[in-house]
Amino acid sequence: MHDAGKIVLGLGVFGVLVTAPVWYGIGRGKGEPPELQRPATAKQCIEPTAFMRARHMELLNEWRDAVVRDADRVYVASDGQHHEMSLTGTCLRCHEDPEKFCIRCHAYAGVEAFCWDCHQKKRTMAVSARRERGAP
């Protein structure tokens, strides 16, 4: 029991180090939500805003599975409207600039979107090809 002071000090230092990220996050806060560029062409999304904020990734994963595994390409929204299950064909038709909408929100939330690994490259190539042909 001669080293009780050293043990208590060591546990205290350990506790501070382990909880430091929590205290840093509390002190820093989130700040103001980012200003997002709203779609100019659509008045509402395929689902209500609250649903899209909370569950859009689940929806996109469900779309991917339905299209790839079941060849189902039509999504019936909660309001009964039919939409094509396509990130580039449906989502990016309204959210034309992911930098000013998707990526800003994901950066604020501290999550990384892997959608652009494939889809944005393909979309950029398609837009470039249309422009070369003289199409808008």
What is residue 30's predicted lDDT score, i.e. its pLDDT? 67
Examine the domain organization and report whether 81 and 109 are in the same domain. Answer: no
Examine the domain organization and report whether 130 and 110 are in the same domain. Answer: yes
Examine the domain organization and report whether 81 and 101 are in the same domain. Answer: no
Residue 126 has pLDDT above 60, yes or no: no
What backbone torsions phi and psi does residue 37 show, to the nearest 5 degrees? Answer: -75, 115
- 6 inside domain: no
CB 53 within 8 A of CB 45: no
What's the structural domain count of the chain?
2
Q: Name the most confidently modeled range: 76-85, 91-100, 126-135.
A: 76-85
- Arithmetic mean of pLDDT, 97-125: 77
Copy the structure tokens of residue 60: 């996109």
- Arithmetic mean of pLDDT, 108-132: 65
- 11 inside domain: no
What is residue 25's predicted lDDT score, i.e. its pLDDT? 75
Examine the domain organization and report whether 103 and 136 are in the same domain. Answer: yes
Copy the structure tokens of residue 36: 């997002």
- 91 inside domain: no
Residue 16 has pLDDT above 60, yes or no: yes
CA distances to 23, 34, 74, 88, 119 from 70, rounded to whole Å, are 47, 37, 11, 19, 20
pTM: 0.64
- 80 inside domain: yes
What is residue 121's predicted lDDT score, i.e. its pLDDT? 55
- Arithmetic mean of pLDDT, 41-65: 92
Share of the chain above pLDDT 70, in %: 83
- 115 inside domain: yes
Q: Which domain covers residue 105, as residue numbers?
A: 97-136
Cα–Cα distance, 77 to 91 (Å, whole number): 14
- 37 inside domain: no
- 15 inside domain: no
- 3 inside domain: no
